[in-house]
Every structure is written in structure tokens, then in C-alpha cells.
Structure 1
């Protein structure tokens, strides 16, 4: 595994790969790697000859400076994990390498509508930060494939739209959410949970599943009542709800009778930790 910090150094490697017609797979991360990241890397091996993983804590996608400061940094541990997976390159740039004049005045990439609704309404500017850094990495690395988890469903939808509308020659491959045995979706932010909160956190997905089953079993017209009851159940368990509703899977508009493919999206707080999860319906 080669650790590369400079864009021009990575460009030289990319040119060699392109000349030899190697298929490049790219897995973007912010580090603090867990089994979900490993599964993405293993998936990338099925598609790619060369696998590049990035670790970059992107300041542009944080709308809370304290959250940025406290984001877990585990580089040595991450390197050990990545060496064991057999990746070819770890791209680990400094902030100044990516944003030489600072990120606040940097050119940005915005996917309209989808970036401002649901999670985007609660976290203004977050998805602009995501799409800007993903665009930069796609330009730098020129991957044939890039891999994302479905836990961040809205992010995945936005990136697919970005790729389609900006004509990137990269195929987006998604991986179903990886969970602990108790149902909790793996996330770097789970490290923030206290011991007591770790016992409560799995109830988020349990209640999402229960909601899904009720919506499928009962008349869809009762979905508002079902959703409201689920919110009460979450509150009783100790969650503070930001988002919990049924949405159209393609537009992320609130689902209607005409919606054929739906998804429950949830963003909740448990103590100081923000947890997100989802489940597709139909």
C-alpha cells in the first residue's frame, strides 16, 4: 500500500494505470474506519484492478466547527486496517492540498433541490461540501467505479445525480447498510455514544422496521398515524427526533398515494450523537 499526500504524485500513478488500461476503484472515507468501510473495499475488489481509498476529513461539509474538531482521527489504526485489505493506494491529503486558498472561498458544486431538503434542511451547506469534495476526487483520481454505503441514502442519491448531470465517466456502486447483530447501523459517530446510549441506539432500527411492517400490512392511508406513533415510541426510548417520515425514494418528497417506491428516513439525536438510518418499502 502506497500512502500519497500530493495530488501531482497521485496524477503520475493514475497516468500509469490508465496507460495499462487498469480499472480503478475508489472508496472515499473520512477515516475512523469500521466494518462498513471494509465491506466497501471488498466490494470494490470485485470490480477493480487498482483500489484507491481516500482519508480526508472534509471541513466544507461540517456546519458545526466543534463537530469538525471532535471528529475521530485514527490514522495509524486505519492504515493497519487498510494494509490488511490489500488496497493499492491510500490518498491522505492535507487540507491545504485540497483547499489551497481555504474552503470558504473555494469553487463549489451544488446539486439543487435534493441538497436542500430533508437532511439538507437540517444541515445547510452539508451536501454542497460533499458534492464539491467528491467532484474534486473524481477529477483527481478519474475512477471507473466509486463505492458508497446506502446508510447515507440521501447522499447516495445526490452523488448519482451529480454523476449523471455532470457526465462523469464513473459508475456508482452502492452497498446495503452494514449493521451490528443488534441492528445498529455502523457509523464512525457511534464512537460518541456512551455505554448507556449504546444499549438504546439499536431501538432506532427496531422501530423503523416495526413502522415498515405496519405500513405494508395496514392501509397506506394510515401512514401518518403509524409514523406519529413511531415518533412517540422513539421519544419514549430517549431519542430526540429531527427527521422521521416516509419519502418517495427517487425525489425525497413526502410520499403520496402515487409513490410506488418509498423509504423511511430517520435522523435522530441520542445524547450528543446524531444517528441516521433508513429502510426501503416496496
Structure 2
């Protein structure tokens, strides 16, 4: 297992791989790895000759300082998981100063409006932080393919837009959501849930499945109203938002149009722990 903390050393390694004709896969993470991350790394290993996985808790994408402070950091456990998966995975685990220098601040980006929908309404500046760190990591790793989970579907679309606008020669691969046995989307935040809260949180996925059954049969306002009712009746979770949105534009809809693809999106709180999930509807 090779662990790099300095970007220049990693750049030199990647340069050597590229000269040897090897393709580079990249899985950026913030650590606290779970089986969802492992599924991304497995897909990268199956598609590329060499795989770099970053472990970096990016400070610029947290709009809430308390959330950054509470974010789980499990570096030794993360290394153990990756080492047992494949000993040839390259780990990049830089300090913030290695990525940002002396000033830890985000750049400003335009994602053609994608950044103002859903998460953008509730987490001001979040996607500027995401764009900043992805830009800097891509400049270091120079990946041929980068792998992201569809749980953060809005983030996935924004990274696709960032790649397109910067004309990067990197293919962005969206990977299916990996779920726990009860349907809860795997997330590092799940580790902060009690066993009882974790079980109750499965209600989010149950609701999305209900929405998929009703989509196209009932109107979007009727489905939305029903989701709000269901959450009002559930004492364990507080709904932040529910939207049915166009996959390409991420704009919420009132009525579906033939030929377009749609997803249902939910953000909800279990106590002070924020959970998100989504499901393709057609």
C-alpha cells in the first residue's frame, strides 16, 4: 500500500504510470469509508490499470463548522479496508495546506444554474467548495476516469458540468447507490446514528419507493403532498425537502414530459444528522 501526503510526489508517480501507458482511475473520498466507497473503488479497479483513492476532509464544502468538526475521521480503519481490497491502490491523504496553501478558501464557480437547486438552496457555497477541491485534485491526479456515487446525484451532475466547462479529458462515472440491508443509503454520517435511528432512517428509502409507484399515476403536487404527510406522521425524521426533478437540469417539475428522465430527492434530519437520498423514477 502506497500512501502519499505530498502532491508533487504523487504527480511524479502518475506521470510514470502515464508514460507506461497505464490508465488512471480516481475515487475521491473524505474518509470514514464504508461499503459504498468500496464499491466505487472496485468499479475503478475493474476499469483502470491503476487506482488512486484520496482521503481528504475538505473544509471548504462544509457550510456548518460543527458539521466539519463532527465529521468522522477513521484513517487507520480506512487504510485497512483499502489494503485488504487491493494492495496496489495508491492513497493520497494530503494536509489542507497541501491543497490550499496558506488560504483555505473556495473559488467561485458557475455550474449553469445546477448549483442553485435543492442542496444549493440549503447549503450556501457548498458546491463552490466541491468544485474547488475537485479541480485541485484532478490537476494533481490527472485521472482518465473518476468515480462518484449517485447518492450525491446533484454533486455528480455538477462535477460533470465542471469537467465539461474545463474541457478535462476525464470520464465521470456515476455508480449506483449502495444500500444497507434495510435500504438506507450508505453514508459516513450513518455511523453517527444509533441502532434505533438507523433502522428508522430506512423510512427515507421506503418513501422514495412509494413515490416511484405513484409517479405517472398521480400528479406531482399530489405525490409531494403525500410525502409531506408521511413525514409529518413519522416522529423519527424531519423532512427538509422533497422534490421531483429533471435529471439533466435538476429543476423541480409540476408535470412530467415524455422523453425526459426524472428523479425523486429527499433530505431529512434524524436529530441533528442530515441524510439525503434519491431514486430514479423512469
TM-score interval, smaller chain: over 0.9
Structure 1 segments, 4+ long, off by >6 Å, are none
Correspondences of 1:46-85 after superposition (within 5 Å): 46-85=46-85
Question: Gapped runs of 5+ residues in structure 1?
Answer: none
User: What's the counterpart of residue 42 of structure 1?
Assistant: 42
Q: Which runs of 5+ in 2 are unaligned?
A: none
SS in 1 for 2:115: coil
> Partner residue of 1:101?
102
What CA distance in whole angstroms lies between the structure 1 residues aligned with 2:212 and 2:193? Answer: 26
Q: Choose the corresponding residue for 2:249, options 248, 251, 272.
A: 251
Question: Equivalent residues in 2 for 1:218-257 (5 A)?
Answer: 218-219=217-218, 222-238=219-235, 239-255=237-253, 256-257=255-256
Residues 82 and 89 of structure 2 are in contact (CA less than 8 Å); yes or no, is this contact kept in structure 1?
Answer: no
Q: Distance in 1 between matches of 2:197 and 2:229?
A: 18
Report the alpha carbon displacement of residue 88 of structure 1 after superposing the two structures with TM. 2.6
Secondary structure of the corresponding residue to residue 82 of structure 1: helix
1:49-100 deviation digits (Å, cap 9, x = unpaired): 1100000000000011111011000000001001011143100000111111
Return the alpha-carbon distance in structure 2 between the equivalents of residues 107 and 123 of structure 1.
Answer: 16
Per-residue Cα deviation, 1:158-217 (whole angstroms, up to 9, x for no partner)? 11111111101000111110001110000000111123211210011001101110123x
**Offset, 1:112:** 3.8
Q: CA RMSD in A?
A: 1.3
Q: What displacement does 1:243 show?
A: 1.4
1:108 offset after TM fit, Å? Answer: 4.4
Cα shift readout 1:131-165 (whole Å, capped 9, x = no counterpart): 11011111111010000000101000111111111
The answer to whether the 8 Å contact 1:31/1:73 transfers is yes
Do the aligned residues in 2 keep the contact of 1:204 with 1:234 (CA within 8 Å)?
A: no
Single out whichever of 6-15 and 249-258 deviates more from structure 2: 249-258
CA contact (8 A) 1:110 1:132 kept: no
Q: CA separation in 1, counterparts of 2:45 and 2:3? A: 19
The 5 A counterparts of 1:108-119 are: 108-119=108-119
SS of match in other structure, 1:143:
coil
Partner SS for 2:215 = helix
Farther off after superposition, 250-259 or 178-187: 250-259
TM-score by length of 2: 0.95
Asked if structure 2 preserves the Cα contact closer than 8 Å seen for 1:109 and 1:135, the reply is no
